[in-house]
Amino acid sequence: FGDRSLAGLKVVVSAGPTFEDIDPVRFIGNRSSGKMGFAVAAAAVQAGAEVTLVAGPVGLATPVGVARRIDVRSAAQMHAAVLQAAVQADIYIGAAAVGDYRPQEVSAQKLKKRDGGDLVLRLGENPDILASLSAQTTHPFLVGFAAETHDVAAYAQDKLQRKGLDMIAANQVGDGLGFEAADNALTLYWAGGAVELPRAAKSELARRLVAHVAERYRAMRG
């Protein structure tokens, strides 16, 4: 099934959250379930691509036909895994919700409660996977996601330019869409174009997204 629009191409997809450890039992994470990224990986397989799936900590089975799955936990691990896989790739689709910050120090022992006093965590910035890729002289066709609660179009277009992307898929999160939900709605932006993909199951949206990615990829890279 599918249109085989990605036949012969290698695609790397990131999915899920990252967890940034504070101590052996605590971490900073986010609400990404991995459903959107896993659906994108499945749709890329159906379109004929050889797919590498880099997954944060999620409880999802690997979609049938995915060539390689690399499980990671932190943003730094996801950064390393994606950059290594991207060397061989034609297209990278970043659906993961990567933590922007991590605790500067990870305590080797469980932090104890300090009665009456505040606990202050210093956070350091994580490297940006998409920005690292776009800074390389040769890199895959880059597709980012933008999860926003407000001003979706403006923030998404800013990320498209700032991160040097070929396309960005913006989702308004909240109201039963986006994180964790079965459904989503996306607006795709690229230089000089946009298309709305109205609310649908993530599997269906992923198929439509992949069809647009294939069309733009062929238009730009032949």
Least spacing, CB of residue 115 vs ligand PMT, in Å? 36
Task: Name the one range near ligand PMT by CB under 6 A: 4-12, 96-104, 111-119, 192-200.
Answer: 96-104
First to last CA, the chain: 23
126 catalytic? Reply is no
63 near ligand PMT (CB under 6 A): no
What residue type is assigned to position 37 of the chain? G
Site for ligand PMT in 183-222 (CB under 6 A): none
Q: Which residue has the tokens 């996601």?
A: 145
| Residue among 72 and 129 whose Cβ is closer to ligand PMT | 129
**Cα dihedral 102→108→112→114 (10° resolution):** -60
Burial group, residue 112, by CB count within 10 angstroms (0-12, 13-18, 19+): exposed
Tokens representing residue 81 in the block? 């895994």
Tokens representing residue 149 in the block? 């609660």
Catalytic residue ranges: 30
Q: Which residues bind ligand PMT (CB under 6 A)?
A: 16, 32-37, 75, 94-98, 100, 126, 128-130, 144-147, 159, 171, 173, 178-180
What residues form the annotated binding site for CTP? 100, 110, 127-130, 145, 159, 163
Residue ranges for the binding site?
Answer: 100, 110, 127-130, 145, 159, 163
